[in-house]
Amino acid sequence: MSTRLPEPLSLPSSDWGAWVAARCDGELDEARRSADVLRESPGDSAATMSTWNDLNIALQNAFAVASLMANVHPDEAVRNRSEQAEQDAHKLLTEIGLDRQVFEALSSVVPEELDDGGRRVLVLSIRDFKRAGVDQDESVRERLRELAERETAVAQEFSKNIRNGVRSVRVPPSSLEGLPSDFVEAHPPGDDGLVEITTEYPDYLPFSTFSRDRAARQALVQEYLNRAWPANESILHELLELRREHAGLLGYDGWPSYDAEVKMIGKGSAIPEFIDRIAEVSHEAAGREIEVLLDRLRQDHPDVTSVSNVDKLFYQEVVRREQFDVDAQLVRPYFDFTKVRSGLLSVTGRLFDVEYVEVHDPTWHEDVTSYDVVRGDERLGRIHLDLHPRAGKYNHAAQFTLTSGIAGRQLAEGVLVCNFSRSLMEHDHVVTLFHEFGHLVHHVLAGGHPWERFSGVATEWDFVEAPSQMLEEWAWDPDVLRSFATDEAGTPIPAELVEKMRAAKEFGKGLYAATQMFYAAVSYRLHQDVPDDITRTQRELQERYDVFDYVPDTHFFASFGHIEGYGSGYYTYMWSLVIAKDLFSAFDRDDLFATEVAHRYRDRILAQGGRRDAADLVADFLGRPYSFDAFERWLDSPG
Ligand SMILES: [Zn+2]
């Protein structure tokens, strides 16, 4: 194999602290040097843009290593040093974003002197500078700095109150009937003869799903929906006010307009239109499903007239078990981790026409397996799979960047960081693995651009999830699963079992859509209207969008963590699902590996990275603008 020139980053086999410091500080210095050149002697248009690209490559290199190592390195001292580097990178990024001289240098670039890619980078960069407020007068910039600082502090306070806002109830041991035995063993009664159940997920989710004691579920849900209340009510008010002022100073009519400008949805006013449209198309399915839940609930409690969070998880589970006959204990033996991993590689290798060649260079931990991603005699990138839990490691699932691919300069390297079992996996986790791998392959395949701005998953935030949500479909396909999901005796998972699993998954999609639109409406309305009475607004929106009833005297918004991170953009989850269903409609369900469409998808969507707007990529792939049709058909179909 003759490899393409950029070599992988060579990682150390010891003294990681020094390596992280040298890598990050070195790249930040490089970025500062580029900023100096832009301030002092930027040169002609092409030279200016090339220096600007250098600056961004260096800054991104520092961010990538700092953020990855802060989350995966086994040595706490290395993680701390990496966090420090991350803060340094953030500081430099903010400084450059408000640097008048660097902005002037870019503003003097003549677009006609650039190629298409250069012109797009220029337009996006000028937009980012203006969104940071660089062209405002000094008093406004000063106020923007104050607002940014205060927003960070208030947002941290909001999240901290949620993390620390654990509540609990004490219930009789009989309330634990229906819960798995390991849960019961871990929850012995106290001196008062009662069992403590907290609002943390490992307690809340199983208890609300399995406890047959409705009064106990009611008590727990009441506490759960009041986490961080009342503390977060005034804090959320302040955060909403700060964001409104921030957007107003920059000339926007509210935070949603400011935020949506750089998203696929484009305009703040398009958010409520989207929410109402999804609410409308999911109305029938949600209505059908809530009737099923209510009917089943009434068999146990004939007087009840509506379903709320008190009964939601419990009866969804009852219906799945009684009506869809899926037993998780029968599913697990087919998903042995090692077979799943090699299955994932052969499925995606076949789909995207690449090979994964295992390499044994040093990494940060012995659990990590590394592969070169190869097509013919060309090395496209390198991936690292870090898939099992250990102390101090990031505890969700995500794709991280090690290096962004830059044509002729840097090889794309990405890392999957997950926490899966080393032996048998839940099917949910298999789906998660496919999902995250979707981000990883996007990162690698879009690693051949000269501009850092286009490299990897450099697309609009509300589109980012679509390719990953689409790849999940392969983890639900009976034929795909049969190719690697075999039990100890080597028998592939039966197609009928997969069909039952799919049917069980499909039940509840209307309920899901309706509840998601309630959350999206809260996220949008609170930011757009900044109401005095948040509880009242929440109740009105729940009545309008959700099919589950409001639980009296609760204040869910106080623990709605996403309102801090996503701001007015909670709709993005559903938006990218609409796009994912539309993309998937181009594939043949009976032949998920059909070459023409798979390669067209690879080349026109994934490999493009941020080269064009997501809406244009989707239109180029589908041969028409994106539409809601596939999503609507999915909602209407029984399974
Ligand atoms: Zn994702």
Tens digit of each residue's pLDDT (9 = 90 or more) over 21-46:
999 999 999 999 999 999 999 999 99
- Segment 111-119 mean pLDDT: 97
Higher pLDDT, 94 or 568: 568
* Distance, CA of 380 to CA of 447 (rounded, Å): 8
pLDDT for the residue 156:
84
**Under DSSP, is residue 197 helix (H, G, I), strand (E, B) or coil?**
strand
The C-alpha torsion from 132 through 134 and 135 to 139, rounded to 10°, is 100
Q: How confident is the model at residue 182 (pLDDT cuts 50, 70, 90)?
A: confident
Task: Write the burial class of residue 339 (CB in 10 Å: 0-12 exposed, 13-18 middle, 19+ buried).
Answer: middle
* Distance, CA of 80 to CA of 598 (rounded, Å): 42
**Under DSSP, is residue 232 helix (H, G, I), strand (E, B) or coil?**
helix
DSSP 8-state secondary structure symbol assigned to residue 465: H
- Segment 628-636 mean pLDDT: 93
**Lowest-pLDDT range, 341-350, 379-388, 555-564?**
555-564
CB contact set of 417 (below 8 Å; sequence gap of 6+): 68, 71, 72, 386, 393, 394, 397, 398, 399, 400
- Region of 266 (left: φ > 0; alpha: ψ -120 to 50; beta: rest) is left
> Residue 575 pLDDT more than 90?
yes
Residues in the chain: 639
Contacts made by residues 159-165, CB under 8 angstroms, sequence distance 24+: 159/561, 159/564, 161/228, 161/231, 161/232, 161/235, 161/558, 162/227, 162/228, 162/232, 162/558, 162/559, 162/561, 165/199, 165/227, 165/228, 165/231, 165/232, 165/558, 165/559
Highest mean pLDDT among 193-207, 560-574, 592-606: 592-606
> Residue 314 pLDDT more than 80?
yes
> Residue 372 pLDDT more than 90?
yes
> Residue 1 pLDDT more than 70?
no
**How far is the centre of ligand 1, averaged over its atoms, from the C-alpha of 440 (Å)?**
10
What does the mean pLDDT of the chain come to? 95
According to DSSP, the β-strands at 398-403 and 412-417 are: antiparallel
**Lowest-pLDDT range, 24-38, 175-189, 344-358?**
175-189
**Lowest-pLDDT range, 115-124, 133-142, 326-335?**
326-335
pLDDT digits (tens, 9 = 90+) for 602-613: 999 999 999 999
> Residue 4 pLDDT more than 70?
no
Percentage above 90 pLDDT, the chain: 87
* Distance, CA of 535 to CA of 558 (rounded, Å): 9
Percentage above 70 pLDDT, the chain: 99
- Segment 541-555 mean pLDDT: 97
**How far is the centre of ligand 1, averaged over its atoms, from the C-alpha of 606 (Å)?**
14
CB contact set of 496 (below 8 Å; sequence gap of 6+): none
pLDDT for the residue 149:
85
- Segment 78-83 mean pLDDT: 95
**How far is the centre of ligand 1, averaged over its atoms, from the C-alpha of 468 (Å)?**
6
**How far is the centre of ligand 1, averaged over its atoms, from the C-alpha of 437 (Å)?**
9
Q: How confident is the model at residue 2 (pLDDT cuts 50, 70, 90)?
A: very low
CA distances from 99 to 54, 113, 129, 309, 453 (A): 17, 24, 9, 50, 19
In contact, 524 and 272? CB cutoff 8 Å? yes
**How far is the centre of ligand 1, averaged over its atoms, from the C-alpha of 435 (Å)?**
6
Amino acid at 558: A
Q: Which two tokens stand for residue 329?
A: 């204990």
pTM, 2 dp = 0.91
**How far is the centre of ligand 1, averaged over its atoms, from the C-alpha of 139 (Å)?**
40
**How far is the centre of ligand 1, averaged over its atoms, from the C-alpha of 458 (Å)?**
14
DSSP 8-state secondary structure symbol assigned to residue 174: G
DSSP 8-state secondary structure symbol assigned to residue 375: E
- Segment 364-382 mean pLDDT: 97
pLDDT for the residue 326:
83
**How far is the centre of ligand 1, averaged over its atoms, from the C-alpha of 399 (Å)?**
8
* Distance, CA of 387 to CA of 370 (rounded, Å): 12
**How far is the centre of ligand 1, averaged over its atoms, from the C-alpha of 445 (Å)?**
17
Q: How confident is the model at residue 202 (pLDDT cuts 50, 70, 90)?
A: confident
CB contact set of 8 (below 8 Å; sequence gap of 6+): 359, 361, 372, 382, 411, 413
**Under DSSP, is residue 461 helix (H, G, I), strand (E, B) or coil?**
coil
- 579-593: string of b/e by CB count within 10 Å (b at 16+)? bbbbbbebbeeeebe
Q: Which of 285, 184, 193, 164 is nearest to 561 (CA)?
A: 164
Tell how many helices (H) and how many strands (E) occur in the chain. Answer: 26, 7
Q: How confident is the model at residue 254 (pLDDT cuts 50, 70, 90)?
A: very high
**How far is the centre of ligand 1, averaged over its atoms, from the C-alpha of 311 (Å)?**
29
Q: Which of 542, 536, 488 is nearest to 518 (CA)?
A: 542
pLDDT for the residue 321:
86
pLDDT for the residue 438:
97
**How far is the centre of ligand 1, averaged over its atoms, from the C-alpha of 594 (Å)?**
25
**How far is the centre of ligand 1, averaged over its atoms, from the C-alpha of 195 (Å)?**
37
- Segment 447-474 mean pLDDT: 96
**How far is the centre of ligand 1, averaged over its atoms, from the C-alpha of 439 (Å)?**
7
Residues β-bridged to residue 370 = 359, 384
Q: Which two tokens stand for residue 598?
A: 């798979």
Residues β-bridged to residue 50 = none
**How far is the centre of ligand 1, averaged over its atoms, from the C-alpha of 634 (Å)?**
21
Q: How confident is the model at residue 639 (pLDDT cuts 50, 70, 90)?
A: low
**How far is the centre of ligand 1, averaged over its atoms, from the C-alpha of 564 (Å)?**
18
Neighbours of 61 (CB within 10 A): 26
- Region of 456 (left: φ > 0; alpha: ψ -120 to 50; beta: rest) is left
> Residue 553 pLDDT more than 70?
yes
- Segment 557-577 mean pLDDT: 92
**How far is the centre of ligand 1, averaged over its atoms, from the C-alpha of 490 (Å)?**
31
**How far is the centre of ligand 1, averaged over its atoms, from the C-alpha of 621 (Å)?**
21
